[in-house]
Structure 1
Amino acid sequence: MTEDARFEDGGERPLNLGALDAEDLGVIAALVQDAVLPVTEIRWQAAHRRLGLLVNRIRWEDVEPAKRQGRPVERVQSLLVIDNVLGVASQGVDRADKDLVLQILTVTWEPGEDAEGHVVLTLAGDGALRARVEALDVGLRDVTRPYVAPSGKLPDHSL
């Protein structure tokens, strides 16, 4: 006999998710919304056809339980990895500015011919990263324990 998993079953376990289609990518996009990262934490490994970003994401999956329990907002460091990458382009991202901190607004899929397409990371301040991929394959994996967000607040998107 099997039963459906419940949200509570996840507990404090780290996330380890993959996206092979646009619907799955939407889940990852929701989880990395408002993630921040220094520009120095972006790695394009052309030989491995991989683009990796070490992001500090809000634990959106824990926001409502935290509010109910009076706990502070938490972040966690996660690896956002795009595989099957054929090329990477950026707009509004000065890789020479080692102090630059980027904020991810969303991640989207732009399908192309056959399985090819582009994974686009839209950044605050009119920046963007665009990975041309042979096929959609994006992963998100938590790599640290959660920590209290320094601001203690959630971003305000009401403007």
Structure 2
Amino acid sequence: MSDLRLLAMDKDDLDIVSAHMQDSVFKAPDIAWDAKHQQFSVAVNRFVWEKSDRRAKGHERRRALLVFKRVQAVRSLGVSRGNDEAVHALLAIRFEQKGEGPDGTIELTLAGDAAISLDVECIEAQLADTGGAWETTNRPDHA
């Protein structure tokens, strides 16, 4: 299967990116915020839901990069930049529009009541697989 590459320019697009990013894991050093260029990125180990079969014994993860552009501010709750070994699991990505315009807040909801909030001018996100796949026997379960 070829590498995944997605572009999100509206809420519906972002919902698709969220579905592909569900259960991705990362550590604090994988996060980058470039205020000058208004860009936030996170490198993750993405669970490959599009190839997952509940009955299969083997599943897949891939290294991927999620980039948000036109980011004006970043806030986090429960994500310690001082703890490089803590693993964070992404549950969902949601957009809350502020008013009539395209600006709003993108929230990355993480396990353990943690979150990263991005104040954005508009939705502009890219998700791309950046490395080969590896097998995992662990399939996330949301029962």
TM interval, shorter chain, is over 0.9
* 1:47 maps to 2:33: no
- 2:86 — aligned with what? 100
Instruction: After superposition, give the CA deviation of every residue in 1:74-106 in whole Å (9 maximum; x if it has no partner).
Output: 000100111100000001111111111110000
Distance change in 2, residues 1:53/1:118 (3 Å) = same
- What displacement does 1:153 show? 1.9
* 1:78 maps to 2:51: no
- 2:118 — aligned with what? 131
Match of 1:112 among 73, 98, 117: 98
Determine which structure has more spread, i.e. the larger CA radius of gyration. 1
- 1:60 — aligned with what? 49
SS in 1 for 2:45: strand
- What displacement does 1:71 show? 6.2
5+ residue gaps in structure 2? none
Instruction: After superposition, give the CA deviation of every residue in 1:116-150 in whole Å (9 maximum; x if it has no partner).
Output: 0011000000000000000101110000011112x
SS in 1 for 2:126: strand
- 1:154 — aligned with what? 139
Runs of 4+ in 1 over 3 A off after TM superposition: none
Aligned-partner Cα distance in 2 for 1:81–1:118: 15
Q: Which structure: greater strand fraction?
A: 2
Q: Which structure: greater helix fraction?
A: 1
SS in 2 for 1:48: coil
User: How many residues align structurally?
Assistant: 142
Aligned-partner Cα distance in 2 for 1:22–1:115: 10
For residue 55 of structure 1, what is the amino acid of its counterpart? V
5+ residue gaps in structure 1? 1-11
- 2:12 — aligned with what? 23
For residue 139 of structure 1, what is the amino acid of its counterpart? Q
What TM-score do you get using the length of structure 1 for normalisation? 0.86
For residue 121 of structure 1, what is the amino acid of its counterpart? L
What TM-score do you get using the length of structure 2 for normalisation? 0.95
Aligned-partner Cα distance in 2 for 1:93–1:71: 32
Distance change in 2, residues 1:154/1:71 (3 Å) = closer
- What displacement does 1:48 show? 1.0
Identity of aligned residues (%): 34
